[in-house]
Amino acid sequence: MRSSKSRSRSKSNRNNNNRNVGNIVNRVFDSSGPEGKVRGTPQQIIEKYNQLARDAQLSNDRVAAENFQQHAEHYLRMLSAAQRDMDARREQQERENRERQAERDRDRAVRQDRDTADAANKPAEVASDPGSADQPDIVDLGNEPDSGLVETPEAGSEKPAKPKPARKPRKPRVKKPVEGEATDKPKDPPAPEAPEAAE
């Protein structure tokens, strides 16, 4: 008779195996079959047992062929359960992502509605264009010299503007000799002065 400890231990192992279903697809198993150990991922073990079953059928060993097929079916069931679990998880993640995206879209729409409502209810602020703002009245101070205003040609003054006198050209700077440098260079002739502009 088996002890209760071994039964409880095997139950907990079965529960742990059900929790780790998602990792089964790529996990490497050691399968103890009738011909010895078969090692590989579930897909590789299924292919190996199917090949052994075909070989047993060709040698007219129905019992061995059935045994290999049962081993292959076991791993096929494990693999399909893992695939279903992975598909269910993927669908759940996609559903959660769609819900999050829909919530973001709703929040964005609410923000845009709030911004447009705030813009419509906001009092008219001073326009950034100074030309559209109210302009002060122009005060005519006449020709007072202490007014601090500068006369411009647009102001309509009757005095013609004086032409500026022509500037005299600058004289070239004479280079001072540096110590140790030869001073027998001829000096530049003085530049002719430009005639003064007639006034």
At residue 10, the pLDDT reads: 55
> The pTM is what?
0.41
Q: What is the mean pLDDT of residues 63-78?
A: 92
Amino acid (1-letter code) at residue 30: D
Mean pLDDT of the chain: 76
**How large is the C-alpha radius of gyration of the chain?**
51
82 is a domain residue: yes
98 is a domain residue: no
48 is a domain residue: yes
156 is a domain residue: no
Write the CB contacts of 82 (distance below 8 Å, at least 6 apart in sequence).
Answer: 21, 22, 23, 24, 25, 42
Q: What is the residue range of 47's domain?
A: 22-90
**62-121 vs 42-58: helix crossing angle, rounded to 10:** 150
The DSSP element (H or E) to which 29 belongs, if any, is strand 29-33
43 is a domain residue: yes
d(CA 85, CA 81): 6
At residue 127, the pLDDT reads: 47
**SS3 (DSSP) at 188:** coil
Span 143-194, pLDDT tens digits:
555 556 676 766 555 566 677 778 888 888 887 777 766 555 555 566 566 5
Counting the structural domains of the chain, the total is 1
103 is a domain residue: no
Span 99-139, pLDDT tens digits:
999 999 999 999 998 888 888 777 555 446 666 667 777 76
d(CA 31, CA 44): 11
Span 18-61, pLDDT tens digits:
455 557 777 888 887 777 788 888 889 999 999 999 999 999 99
At residue 93, the pLDDT reads: 94
150 is a domain residue: no
Quickly count: other Cβ atoms within 10 Å of residue 21's Cβ: 16
58 is a domain residue: yes
